[in-house]
Amino acid sequence: MHEQMPAGVTITEIVEETPSIRTFVFDREIAARPGQFVMVWVPGVDEIPMGLSSPSSITVQKVGDATTALFAKNAGDRIGIRGPYGNGFAVSGRTLAIGGGVGTSPLLPLVEAGQVDTFLLGARTASELLFAERIRRAAALMIATDDGTAGHHGFVTELVSRVDLADFEHVCVCGPEVMMAAVLAILDREGCAERGQFSINRYMKCGVGLCGSCCTDPHGLRVCRDGPVFSGDVLLESEFGRYARDASGSRHRV
């Protein structure tokens, strides 16, 4: 796939995963490492970065103009895909994965490749738990819901105390940034921040490292090229968990 030009793909299936999340399956497989992302072009609306939930699918929560337009699509409609971009997760040995909400999506290829031993899965409520049964088939699964309708009553970060971090060479995390920052604080407190791999989301225009819109403070690391997966020790002194920037470059709290 050409790095600069989106390839037209046809949506072949739309799966309602939860009341707010859908998977869009398309008619082309993309050779990507778990955790890499693609730029998704919704004609006439916008182009946005999205993680792959499989070589031929993206899993989407309706949160803005582009995702709202995606939710209006039907099987047979066309969108554009370019990529994959970024570094993805790099694991060997025993791996703990922690996913919150739609952030579980980029972790699923890692699970289905047999590279996750234990998965901590969180959601607001039971009906919003994403890919729980698919994860359970491949890894030991622990669940937390904010309202207590399934698993532990509380945040997914509270499950970290129920595992022995010393058992894992890697801790791969994706979800709301507040949740990920809480996980990083735990790893830092336990002296193993460098074992964490965090997939972060930032506003992007090009996706290929040219425009600078996804640069992070204070080191200028580009999410599209240097990420989207960053080691926890790199993030400790960064903007991570504190603020991000919008299309104008203005800061806003995450």
Question: What is the SS3 assignment for 64?
Answer: coil
- Residues at the binding site are 206, 211, 214, 224
Average pLDDT value over all residues in the chain? 95
User: Is 120 or 7 the better-scoring residue by pLDDT?
Assistant: 120
- Numbered ranges of CATH 3.40.50.80 in the chain: 95-253
Residues of the chain with CATH 2.40.30.10: 7-85
> Comparing C-alpha atoms, which of 126, 16, 25 is closest to residue 61?
16
Q: Where are the beta strands (DSSP E) in the chain?
A: 7-18, 21-26, 37-42, 46-54, 57-61, 78-85, 95-100, 118-123, 140-145, 152-153, 170-174, 196-199, 215-216, 221-222, 229-231, 243-245, 251-253
Whether the predicted pLDDT of 189 surpasses 80: yes
Residue 98 has pLDDT above 50, yes or no: yes
Give the pLDDT band of residue 248 (cuts 50, 70, 90): confident
Band of residue 247 on the pLDDT scale cut at 50, 70, 90: confident
Q: What's this model's pTM, rounded to 2 decimal places?
A: 0.95
pLDDT at 152 over 90: yes
207 compared with 108, residue with greater pLDDT: 108
Out of 3.40.190.10, 2.60.40.10, 1.10.1040.10, 2.40.30.10, which CATH number does the structure's domain 7-85 have?
2.40.30.10
Whether pLDDT at 184 is above 90: yes
pLDDT of residue 6: 85
How far does CA 115 lie from the centroid of its chain?
16
The three-class DSSP label of residue 92 is: coil
Helix (H, G, I), strand (E, B) or coil at 195: helix
pLDDT at residue 5, rounded to an integer: 79
DSSP class of 6: P
Report the pLDDT averaged over residues 196-203.
96
Determine the pLDDT at residue 213.
92
pLDDT band for 121, please (50, 70, 90 cuts).
very high
Q: What is the pLDDT of residue 3?
A: 57
Architecture of the 95-253 domain: 3-Layer(aba) Sandwich (3.40)
Q: What does 136-194 look like in DSSP terms, one character per residue? A: HTTSEEEEEETTSSSSEES-GGGGGGGS-GGG-SEEEEES-HHHHHHHHHHHHHTT-GG
Binding-site members for [2Fe-2S] cluster are 206, 211, 214, 224
